[in-house]
Structure 1
Amino acid sequence: MKLLLLAAVLPLAAAYNSVPSFLSSSRRSATWKSGAKVSTNMFLTRRPGTPSTALFAEQLGGGGPPTPRGNDGDDNNDDGNGDDNPLSSLQRWFKSPEAAEDIKTYTLSLFVALTIRFFLVEPRYIPSLSMYPTFEVGDQLAVEKITKRIRPPRRGEVVVFNPPQAFRDMVFDSPSDSSKKAKEALIKRVVATEGDVVVVKNGNLFINNEQQDESYRAEKAFYDFGPVTVPPGQLLVLGDNRNHSLDGHIWGFLPKENIIGRAVYLYWPPWRFGNDGLN
């Protein structure tokens, strides 16, 4: 999975590093020209009785005022003050041999980045303390999308998912709420899969009459729950911060098709990088 993370970053870095050089070179050229002109005028003084046209000719070493020309020396469309026309610079770049290669690089980088983002792995951040202590507010993690196409989620895995309709009905004023908040993904831990019998008693989780190891949780649950049997095609998900999580013990079961992906690595902050608490 570390290789997947690197693959997600490298195409964007390549695109950034290959920005065309014509922009910076044009600005350097303009700065040099305008600087030279200012330094020349600073040390020239007009002698009494000297016509202004003669002074102008003396400054530039010619026999009269020169014909105005463009800052690139190719046209008469500007005042020669050294300020390149960005559109002209862009047109010259498109005609250059490097343009085709640069465009190929940008297109390939964009294609690779989008492919990774939509089909392989995507970044997510933690907005609440419902998964504390595994995740804290502001943590950023990598969510891989391959496993869900190969097998169903397993107990103990942390998954990111689209909120089910039961969650929307409970939290939002209208079941058809189309606001951004209603569409935000959630993150919880899978504690039971289809066919499992679930009981929470005296703060402890039991699956099929066996007490589960919950070393990842913040504290024992303050509620009792079940017994319930997880229906086919459904999951039961709970937050690690049992008493501060709006999860399956309140709104019910999660359809498998709502799964976006599986959390595999925490990559920010860097001193907490790794997969501790993730299966």
Structure 2
Amino acid sequence: MNVLKMASDFMTLQSLRWMPCHESLGSSPSFTLEGGTGERKPEASRSFEFKRFMTVLLLWSMIFVEVRHIPSLSMFPTLRIGDRIIAEKVSYYFKSPAVNDIVLFRPPKRMQDLGFKKGDVFIKRIVATAGDLIEVQQGKLLLNRNVQSENFIAERPSYEMHATYVPDGFVFVMGDNRNNSCDSHVWGPLPVKNIIGRYVIGCSRSPPVQVS
């Protein structure tokens, strides 16, 4: 089987993966590839170049970008059910995760012990990094004993959490919907190695939510 055809078909399947079952893909855009003289290329040549373009696009998306949809309210109001999001997978090769980064990750062992599948993907906000002391007292998040201003959360947490030290190689993550999120306050710090991407932008019926 032609390798380029396989890549093109796989790209279509990747797109369908993120479409709800009641939606369908619209008609594909038509591309007109022209030579330097302005003359129309033969059909076979244009078809080959289109497949080559799709192959490059597929490889780029597999290496650098993660596309997902939001299935729960754990990150509300920042993200809503059904939102489409794009996460980049490159920056953490050059810098460490930081507080307030929103990250996609695979569940660590303690999450799997709670019944989550190894292949699942979750999205939460980093609230503490290695070397930090994190706690929740009287509805407030304290980072290194300092109360944090969090105007992005759905409501103040109704639980208490004793001071927890974040070890090297880990971060502490929470959902913005603090009282409806299974996050680090339940199962502990998240290994950095489990992070697969950093949230860049989300799209929904309301205006996009974007972070730098």
The TM-score by the shorter chain falls in which range?
0.7 to 0.9
User: How many percent of aligned residue pairs carry the same amino acid?
Assistant: 37
- Once the 2 structures are TM-superposed, how far is the Cα of residue 105 of structure 1 from its aligned partner? 2.0
Structure-2 residue corresponding to 1:166? 110
Alignment of 1:1-279 (within 5 A): 16-18=29-31, 97-106=42-51, 108-172=52-116, 181-269=117-205, 271-275=206-210, 278-279=211-212
Deviation per CA, 1:84-112, whole angstroms, max 9, x where unpaired?
Answer: xxxxxxxxxxxx94213311321x22222
Alignment-mate amino acid for residue 30 of structure 2: N
What CA distance in whole angstroms lies between the structure 1 residues aligned with 2:63 and 2:145? 38
Alignment-mate amino acid for residue 137 of structure 1: I
What CA distance in whole angstroms lies between the structure 2 residues aligned with 1:97 and 1:235? 55
- Once the 2 structures are TM-superposed, how far is the Cα of residue 182 of structure 1 from its aligned partner? 4.1
Deviation per CA, 1:228-256, whole angstroms, max 9, x where unpaired?
Answer: 11000000000101110000000111111
Q: Which has the higher contact order (CA 8 A, sep 6+)?
A: 2
Which has more helix, going by share of residues? 1
Gaps of 5+ in 2: 1-14, 16-25, 33-40
Deviation per CA, 1:37-83, whole angstroms, max 9, x where unpaired?
Answer: xxxxxxxxxxxxxxxxxxxxxxxxxxxxxxxxxxxxxxxxxxxxxxx
Query: Superposition RMSD on alpha carbons, in Å?
Result: 2.2
Which has more strand, going by share of residues? 2
Q: How many aligned positions are there?
A: 179
What CA distance in whole angstroms lies between the structure 2 residues aligned with 1:230 and 1:159? 17
TM-score normalised by structure 2 residue count: 0.78
Q: Secondary structure at the match of 2:114?
A: helix
Name the larger-Rg structure.
Answer: 1
Gaps of 5+ in 1: 1-11, 20-95, 173-180
Q: 1:163 to 1:255 in 2, by over 3 A?
A: same
- The answer to whether the 8 Å contact 2:78/2:209 transfers is no
Q: Secondary structure at the match of 2:197?
A: strand
- Once the 2 structures are TM-superposed, how far is the Cα of residue 200 of structure 1 from its aligned partner? 0.6
